[in-house]
C-alpha cells in the first residue's frame, strides 16, 4: 500500500514538474524572442499554466498523500520532498486561485510594459502596473503571515531563514566598511586607466570569447544555450536544459563577458544538481542567496582575478580588436577592476555593487511597509544614489527602471545579491585552505573548483536549506568580514593604500 501511495505522489510531482518546465520555457521565450504583439496572448497562456500548477500544488489529493506518507517514509529524498511540498501547499493554499491567476498574468504584462517604459525612459507607463504588483505582494504577505516585519514574508520566498532584522544588522556594518574603502580609494594617487578598454568590440567576437570561457568553466552546451536579452538571466527548464542569456554592448565588452560568466555560475549550479532529484521540488537551488554566491564566485573571485587575466589574456586578444595588442595585461587587469560608482547595477564594480543592493532593499522594504508610495520611487531612487554613490541618474532608464525584478513582482529578491556575495567570500575562505585557487586558474582547467562546488553545494539542490549549507561548509554563520577582507586586500594592491 505504502509503495502505491509513494508512486501516486511521484506521479503528481512529475505532473507539477511538467507545468513548471512549460512555464519556464514560456518565460524564456517572452524575455528573448517573442514579437511584441504576441505578449497579450502569451500572458494569458502563462496565467492558464500557472493556475493549473497552483491547483496541483494545493490539491486535496496531494495533501492527503503528503499527510499519509510524512511519518512513514524512510528515504531521505522522499522525506525532504514531502517537507518542501507541504510548505508549498500551506503557503499556496492561502492564496485564492483567481487572485493567483490574475497576479501571474499581471507579471507577464508588467514585464512587457517595463521594457517599453525603460526604452522610453518613462516611469509613468510602468507606474500603474507596479502599484498593482506591490498591492498583490502586500496582500500575499498578509495571507502567509509574519512575526515582526511584513517584508519577512516576501524575503522567505528567496532566502528562508534570513529576516529583515538580520539584514538591518549586517547591511549597515557592510556599508560602513565599503564606504571607508571607497574613501581610501578616492584619496589614492594611483588610478587605473579606463581608456585602455575603449575599443569597438563586435558582438560576434564577444560571444565567441564568452563561449570559450563558459566551456572552460564546465558549462555543458549539450544541456544549455547562450542567447542575448535586455536583462541577463539564467533559467533551468530541467537539469538537462539550463539556458543563459547575456547583453552585448559593442563599446564596452565588460557587460557581456562578466555577465556571461555570472550567468554561467548560476547555470553550473543547476546543471550539477544530483539527477536523483529530477522531477521533485528539490531539483533547484536552495535559495537565491546561495544561487548568487555561485554566480558571483565565478564572476568576481575568478573572472576579475589577476591570475585569470594573466592566463587568459592571449585568448582574449585572439577575439578582441587590434587595440588590445598595445595594452599590457597589468594595465588591462587594473582597468577592468576600476572602482567608479556607476548608474547601472549590473555594470557596477565589485566594491560598490552591494551599495546598489542596499538602495533597492531599503526602497522595496519601505514600499511593502507603506512608508513610501510607488509614485515617489523615481526621486527617492535618485536621492539614494546621490547619498550612497555620489551620482544622480540622468533619466529613469539609468535609474529606477533599470532592473526587471519589480516588473516580475520579485519583492524580497534583491537582498539575495548582497547575501550571495558575502556567502561566496565565505566559501572562498574555505576553498583557500583546501586548494591553491590561483594555481588552478593559471592552469586553465577549473575541474577541481567546479567539483568542489558540486560536492559541497550544487549536488544537494534543495535537500539542504541555505543556512544549513553555510554552516556545513564554513562552520560558522553569515560573516561579512570575509568579503571586507577580500576587497581590502585586492584594492589596496590596485590603489596602493
Rg (C-alpha) for the chain, rounded Å, is 23
Distance CA 460, CA 112 (A): 35
For 150-192, write each residue's pLDDT tens digit: 999 999 999 999 999 999 999 999 999 999 999 999 999 999 9
Task: Please check whether residue 196 is in contact with residue 453, taking contact to mean a CB–CB distance below 8 angstroms.
Answer: no
Check 6, 207, 263, 350 and give the catalytic one. Answer: 263
Q: Are residues 116 and 233 in the same domain?
A: no
Q: How confident is the model at residue 39 (pLDDT cuts 50, 70, 90)?
A: confident
29 belongs to a structural domain: yes
Q: What angle do CA 310, 312, 318 make, to 5 degrees?
A: 125
Q: Are residues 349 and 208 in the same domain?
A: yes
**In this predicted structure, what is the pLDDT of residue 257?**
96
Q: Are residues 114 and 185 in the same domain?
A: no
In whole numbers, what is the pLDDT of the chain averaged over residues? 95
**In this predicted structure, what is the pLDDT of residue 97?**
85
138 belongs to a structural domain: no
- Percent of the chain with pLDDT strictly greater than 90: 95
279 belongs to a structural domain: yes
Task: Please check whether residue 146 is in contact with residue 152, taking contact to mean a CB–CB distance below 8 angstroms.
Answer: yes
* Domain residue limits at 399: 164-495
Q: Are residues 414 and 475 in the same domain?
A: yes
The number of folded domains in the chain is: 2
Catalytic status, residue 270: no
178 belongs to a structural domain: yes
Q: Are residues 422 and 361 in the same domain?
A: yes
157 belongs to a structural domain: no
Distance CA 406, CA 393 (A): 18
149 belongs to a structural domain: no
Which among 121, 156, 177 is the end of a domain?
Answer: 121
Q: Are residues 86 and 200 in the same domain?
A: no
Residue ranges at the known binding site for Zn(2+): 262, 266, 292
What average pLDDT score do residues 469-488 get?
Answer: 96
pTM value? Answer: 0.92
Which among 101, 121, 141 is the end of a domain?
Answer: 121
What average pLDDT score do residues 246-256 get?
Answer: 95
Nearest to 212 by CA among 259, 270, 265, 257: 257
360 belongs to a structural domain: yes
**In this predicted structure, what is the pLDDT of residue 347?**
86
Secondary-structure breakdown of the chain: helix, strand, coil percentages, each rounded to the nearest 5? 70, 5, 30
Question: Of the given ranges (85-89, 104-108, 392-396), which has the lowest mean pLDDT?
Answer: 104-108
Q: What are the distances in angstroms from CA 333 to CA 103, 329, 428, 455, 494?
A: 45, 6, 21, 31, 9
Helix (H, G, I), strand (E, B) or coil at 238: strand
**In this predicted structure, what is the pLDDT of residue 1?**
43
Distance CA 38, CA 103 (A): 19
For 442-466, write each residue's pLDDT tens digit: 998 999 999 999 999 999 999 999 9
Which among 88, 121, 154 is the end of a domain?
Answer: 121
Q: In this model, does residue 3 exceed pLDDT 70?
A: no
Q: In this model, does residue 76 exceed pLDDT 60?
A: yes
What average pLDDT score do residues 463-488 get?
Answer: 96
Q: How confident is the model at residue 2 (pLDDT cuts 50, 70, 90)?
A: low
Q: Are residues 81 and 176 in the same domain?
A: no
Q: Are residues 187 and 336 in the same domain?
A: yes
**In this predicted structure, what is the pLDDT of residue 43?**
87
What average pLDDT score do residues 55-77 get?
Answer: 94
What average pLDDT score do residues 402-415 get?
Answer: 96
Q: How confident is the model at residue 368 (pLDDT cuts 50, 70, 90)?
A: very high
What average pLDDT score do residues 237-244 get?
Answer: 96
What average pLDDT score do residues 66-85 get?
Answer: 95
What average pLDDT score do residues 380-400 get?
Answer: 96
Q: In this model, does residue 108 exceed pLDDT 90?
A: no
Nearest to 246 by CA among 254, 238, 256: 256
β-strands 241-246, 234-238 pairing: antiparallel
Q: In this model, does residue 432 exceed pLDDT 80?
A: yes
Compute how many other C-beta atoms are within 10 angstroms of the C-beta atom of residue 497: 15
**In this predicted structure, what is the pLDDT of residue 193?**
94
Q: Are residues 100 and 197 in the same domain?
A: no
Residue ranges at the known binding site: 262, 266, 292
**In this predicted structure, what is the pLDDT of residue 40?**
87
For 307-331, write each residue's pLDDT tens digit: 999 999 999 999 999 999 999 999 9
Q: In this model, does residue 211 exceed pLDDT 70?
A: yes
- Percent of the chain with pLDDT strictly greater than 70: 99
Task: Please check whether residue 97 is in contact with residue 53, taking contact to mean a CB–CB distance below 8 angstroms.
Answer: no
For 292-307, write each residue's pLDDT tens digit: 999 999 999 999 999 9
DSSP state of 37: G
What average pLDDT score do residues 110-124 get?
Answer: 95
β-strands 241-246, 226-228 pairing: parallel
Q: What are the distances in angstroms from CA 366 to CA 372, 373, 388, 417, 461?
A: 6, 8, 17, 19, 32
**In this predicted structure, what is the pLDDT of residue 33?**
87
Q: Are residues 68 and 186 in the same domain?
A: no
Burial string for 437-453 (b: 16+ CB within 10 Å, else e) reads bbebbeeeebebbbebb
111 belongs to a structural domain: yes
Task: Please check whether residue 247 is in contact with residue 404, taking contact to mean a CB–CB distance below 8 angstroms.
Answer: no
CATH number for the domain including 234?
A: 1.10.1370.30
Task: Please check whether residue 37 is in contact with residue 245, taking contact to mean a CB–CB distance below 8 angstroms.
Answer: no
Q: Are residues 250 and 346 in the same domain?
A: yes
Q: What are the distances in angstroms from CA 248 to CA 231, 302, 439?
A: 10, 21, 31
What average pLDDT score do residues 428-436 get?
Answer: 96
Q: Are residues 99 and 168 in the same domain?
A: no
Amino acid at each position: 500500500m505504502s509503495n502505491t501511495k509513494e508512486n501516486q505522489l511521484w506521479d503528481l510531482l512529475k505532473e507539477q514538474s511538467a507545468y513548471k518546465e512549460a512555464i519556464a520555457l514560456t518565460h524564456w521565450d517572452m524575455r528573448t524572442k517573442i514579437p511584441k504583439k504576441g505578449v497579450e496572448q502569451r500572458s494569458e497562456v502563462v496565467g492558464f499554466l500557472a493556475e493549473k500548477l497552483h491547483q496541483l500544488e494545493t490539491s486535496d489529493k496531494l495533501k492527503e498523500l503528503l499527510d499519509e506518507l510524512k511519518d512513514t517514509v524512510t528515504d531521505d529524498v522522499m522525506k525532504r520532498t514531502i517537507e518542501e511540498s507541504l510548505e508549498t501547499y500551506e503557503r499556496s493554499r492561502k492564496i485564492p486561485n483567481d487572485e493567483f491567476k490574475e497576479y501571474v498574468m499581471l507579471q507577464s504584462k508588467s514585464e512587457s510594459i517595463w521594457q517599453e517604459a525603460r526604452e522610453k525612459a518613462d516611469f509613468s507607463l510602468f507606474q500603474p502596473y507596479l502599484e498593482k504588483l506591490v498591492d498583490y505582494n502586500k496582500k500575499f504577505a498578509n495571507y502567509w503571515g509574519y512575526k515582526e516585519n511584513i517584508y519577512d514574508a516576501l524575503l522567505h520566498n528567496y532566502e528562508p531563514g534570513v529576516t529583515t532584522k538580520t539584514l538591518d544588522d549586517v547591511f549597515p556594518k557592510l556599508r560602513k566598511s565599503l564606504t571607508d574603502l571607497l574613501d581610501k580609494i578616492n584619496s589614492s594617487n594611483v588610478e587605473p586607466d579606463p581608456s585602455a578598454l575603449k575599443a569597438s568590440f563586435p558582438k560576434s567576437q564577444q560571444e565567441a570569447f564568452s563561449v570559450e570561457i563558459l566551456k572552460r568553466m564546465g558549462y555543458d552546451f549539450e544541456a544549455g544555450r547562450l542567447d542575448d536579452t535586455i536583462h541577463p538571466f539564467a533559467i533551468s527548464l530541467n537539469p538537462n536544459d539550463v539556458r543563459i542569456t547575456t547583453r552585448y554592448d559593442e563599446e564596452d565588452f565588460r557587460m557581456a563577458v562578466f555577465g556571461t560568466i555570472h550567468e554561467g555560475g548560476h547555470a553550473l549550479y543547476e546543471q550539477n544538481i544530483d539527477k536523483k532529484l529530477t522531477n521533485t521540488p528539490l531539483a533547484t537551488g536552495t535559495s537565491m542567496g546561495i544561487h548568487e554566491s555561485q554566480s558571483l564566485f565565478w564572476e568576481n573571485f575568478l573572472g576579475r582575478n589577476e591570475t585569470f587575466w594573466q592566463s587568459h589574456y592571449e585568448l582574449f586578444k585572439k577575439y578582441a580588436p587590434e587595440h588590445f595588442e598595445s595594452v599590457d595585461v597589468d594595465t588591462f587587469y587594473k582597468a577592468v577592476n576600476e572602482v567608479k560608482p556607476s548608474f547601472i547595477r549590473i555594470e557596477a564594480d565589485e566594491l560598490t555593487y552591494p551599495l546598489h543592493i542596499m538602495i533597492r532593499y531599503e526602497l522595496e522594504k519601505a514600499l511593502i511597509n507603506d512608508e513610501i508610495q510607488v509614485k515617489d520611487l523615481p526621486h527617492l531612487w535618485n536621492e539614494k544614489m546621490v547619498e550612497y554613490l555620489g551620482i544622480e541618474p540622468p533619466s529613469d532608464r539609468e535609474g529606477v527602471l533599470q532592473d526587471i525584478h519589480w516588473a516580475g513582482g520579485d519583492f524580497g529578491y534583491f537582498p539575495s545579491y548582497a547575501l550571495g556575495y558575502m556567502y561566496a567570500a565565505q566559501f572562498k575562505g574555505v576553498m583557500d585552505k583546501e586548494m591553491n585557487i590561483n594555481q588552478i586558474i593559471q592552469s586553465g582547467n577549473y575541474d577541481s573548483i567546479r567539483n568542489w562546488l558540486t560536492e559541497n553545494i550544487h549536488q544537494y539542490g534543495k535537500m539542504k536549506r541555505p543556512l544549513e549549507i553555510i554552516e556545513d561548509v564554513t562552520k560558522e554563520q553569515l560573516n561579512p568580514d570575509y568579503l571586507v577582507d577580500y576587497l581590502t586586500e585586492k584594492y589596496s594592491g590596485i590603489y596602493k593604500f
